[in-house]
A and B are shown apart, each in its own frame.
Chain A
């Protein structure tokens, strides 16, 4: 039979690998047994705890900590996310062996997943750093800032504005909720499709695809890279340089 609970050790603490399907109560019993068996081996230590295989509620987490402290001499200082900044800090503080660990402010990162909407609604933006490649999507109710390139086949969707501090060569959909004032800005705006609210624009068909592309690349490297922006004008999506003329006209600054 597959073990319901497996205990592993790392430099920062212990990892509990839990069976994802077994009832939680069974897991607790099994845990109690295993920690009792191993308590002499584990000794009297302060440790961090990581849980794999199963997402836990806070209630379940505290029950696990209870079981561990009852059945062994371990003190669980905190519950860690694997490979998180918190773990690093915990390792550091273990070495210093003083002051308790406190979690840094949680970092909200956009999920790169198909059709994953982040349930947030406010006017600020989510920052995603990294390139988005073919098949990777960001969908977000907030505005989106991408610190990287969006390659062909990748999608960025937002209820608000989209700013790409890199090349946009994939698809961008701003104002996905119907906001016709949304814009798409990129350092190099060369997308397959841009959609804003109910308007859609597609890239012109390349007559001499690759040759053209190669030429453009060369021309670009010598010229200044001008950021560009797409927005709706008279019901159509238009593209222009992103600069003070645009800002004056669009935002009446």
Chain B
């Protein structure tokens, strides 16, 4: 029996979809059987970030409405054959799916896959309710900005009210230099405010933008962000992994500068 994980944030643009893509790919690298579900009906993105946009024939709404079989709508990843994507519909809206239907779908998938990862839309409306309906576990993504942290706080409250206990936190887009100068909250500062367990901290990294545009998640490569995402995957499957020193790259740089 697998586990259903929802990736959520409240605020938009903090990296839910990027995190979902990298987490899914990373777990597949760890030889887990993974299915990603894009629940952002009407504004789908996950297929683009995964580079699978051209393979879409059926989507989530088709499955829910019974226009196709679940197996027909699942798109196999280009590289990892134990990774699948269930894309969102683009022409419908969030109301074409109910939380009950999502829960049923998640339960069905979790019988067959190790991890079912749901990419949640921004906001706290129907789309959010759909996404969290079947979830066993939640990862809350935030950036070290007051607005994102405020929204994350609200989301954590809503998750707990919906019986998803102990959400875990990913602090995205950290900039070690700014944290050092005291111009940005550190991951620890964010954890202090939100009072939840930290499961990952991801640096602001140009290679994320490149990877996203190429449609290939960078998890596990040499970039700092790639390593950070791989560490999150390890922690998700239960390993104890120490947090990266996000300043290491900077350290090397300044070492060169000094010479």
Interface residues of A (CB under 8 A from B): 114-115, 134-137, 152-153, 155, 192-193, 200, 202-203, 205-206, 208-210
Contacts and interface: CB of A to CB of B under 8 A. Distances in A.
Contacts of A209: 51, 213-215
Interface in B198-224: 213-215
Nearest to A210: B213
A199 B56 CA distance: 14
16 contacts: A114-B92, A115-B91, A134-B90, A136-B91, A137-B91, A153-B53, A192-B53, A192-B56, A193-B54, A200-B57, A202-B54, A205-B215, A206-B51, A206-B215, A209-B214, A209-B215
B92 A202 contact: no
Given A205-B215, A206-B51, A210-B213, 5 more contacts: A135-B91, A136-B91, A193-B56, A193-B57, A209-B214
A152 B42 CA distance: 13
A2 B92 CA distance: 31
B91 to A, nearest CB: 4
Nearest to A136: B91
Contacts, number: 38
Contacts of B42: 135
B228 to A, nearest CB: 23
A147 to B, nearest CB: 21
Interface in B21-60: 42, 44, 51, 53-57
Given A135-B42, A209-B213, A153 B51 contact: no
B166 interface: no
Contact of A155 (B44, B53, B78, B91): B91
A202 B215 CA distance: 16
A206 B53 CA distance: 11
Dominant SS at the A interface? Answer: loop
A152 B53 CA distance: 9
Contacts of A153: 44, 53, 90
B213 to A, nearest CB: 4
Contacts of B51: 205-206, 209
Contact of A206 (B55, B57, B90, B214): B214
Closest 5 CB pairs of A and B: A114-B91, A202-B54, A192-B54, A210-B213, A209-B214
A205 B78 contact: yes
A209 B215 CA distance: 7
Contacts of A136: 91
Nearest to B61: A114
A203 B78 CA distance: 13
A209 B78 CA distance: 14
A210 B90 contact: no
Contacts of A152: 53
Interface string B72-103: 00000010000000000011100000000000
A207 B214 CA distance: 7
A203 B213 contact: no
B81 to A, nearest CB: 15
B91 A203 contact: no
Interface string B209-245: 0000111000000000000000000000000000000
Nearest to A191: B54
Contacts of B91: 114-115, 135-137, 155
Interface in B243-258: none
Contacts of B57: 193, 200
Contacts of A115: 91
Contacts of A155: 91
Contacts of A202: 54-55
A110 to B, nearest CB: 15
Contact of A203 (B54, B90, B92, B214): B54
A31 B214 CA distance: 62
Nearest to A153: B90
A114 B92 CA distance: 8
A94 to B, nearest CB: 41
A68 B172 CA distance: 65
Nearest to A204: B54
Contacts of A203: 54
A200 to B, nearest CB: 7
Interface in B154-172: none
A152 B51 CA distance: 13
Contacts of B213: 209-210
A210 B44 CA distance: 19
Nearest to A152: B53
A203 B215 CA distance: 14
A76 to B, nearest CB: 39
Contacts of B78: 205
A5 B90 CA distance: 37
